[in-house]
Amino acid sequence: MMANKHTSTARAERSTPVGVGCHDAPMMFDGWKVLVTGASRGIGAACVRALLDGGAHVALVGRHQRGLAEAAAGSSRAAVVTADLADADARASAVDGAVAGLGGLDALVLAAGVAMHTPFEALTESAFRRQLELNLLAPLMMVQQALPHLRAGRGSVVFVGSTLADRPAPTTTAYAASKAGLHNATRQLAAELAPVRVNCVSPGVVDTAMTRAVRLLPGESMPEGAELEARVEGQLEALRSLHPLERLGTPEEIAAAVLHLLAAEWTTGSILTVDGGLTAR
């Protein structure tokens, strides 16, 4: 079978061989041009740091200018693109800005998302639509926008999904539905877009600002002071107890899985679960 010319060219251009994990070759992403959404904090920011450490050129996309600047850490290989991904025009501009800032595009890491914990009977249509927009529609449309560039480059996409796609919990109807759609789209796009590779990391509960946000009941006011601290710690302890490894994941652990999938040349259509044993129970 004749190799795809883009794939062959990309392989020839790599200065280091692709290993199994991101720790095998510190500069294994040397020369890669990668767009990362949700790059100002949490999993997205951890992916940015790991990619920059690996030699990549990275376009950081997000809403929070200060957080993006902190994640970029003054690197000459980082380009900051401020955008609200709930807006279709902003999504298109973000891809165009990344291509302009990096001089092309090899890969996407789509880590932006929103979770709004609400009992189903209190779930509003606007809250449902916002989670579908940011967690499902936005990443898919950004892949579509970036596709010509991905086909001309190394051609790798990694979505950040969730174990809630397969094991939804109370108050997560909209979020779980959006992530289930993303998991399904991963498999479908892997078949349709090859040789562009499309994969997804499915984390358990990761210690991020989103996880630490207090989950209020409808009509409940935000606690303050010591009561707030106790509420957050109780929430975190309950989440830790769901995992056989008895702790939450870290953004860096999810970033390591993302980088593995970015570089795994014979892997596409995979949902890689990284969950501390959550789904084993």
Question: Which residue blocks in 103-172 are alpha helix, DSSP H?
Answer: 125-132, 138-152
The letter for the amino acid at 135 is: N
Query: Cα separation of 146 and 186, whole Å?
Result: 16
**Could you tell me the sign of the dihedral formed by the alpha carbons of 51, 211, 183, 82, in that order?**
negative
DSSP per residue, 173-236: HHHHHHHHHHHHHHHHHHHHHTTSEEEEEEE--B-SHHHHS--PPTTPPPP-HHHHHHHHHHHH
**Could you tell me the sign of the dihedral formed by the alpha carbons of 11, 81, 44, 192, in that order?**
negative
Task: Please provide the size of the chain in residues.
Answer: 281
Phi, psi of 147 (to 5 degrees): -55, -45
| Catalytic residue chosen out of the listed positions 175, 185, 205, 243 | 175
19 among known catalytic residues: no
Phi, psi of 226 (to 5 degrees): -65, -35
Active site residues: 175
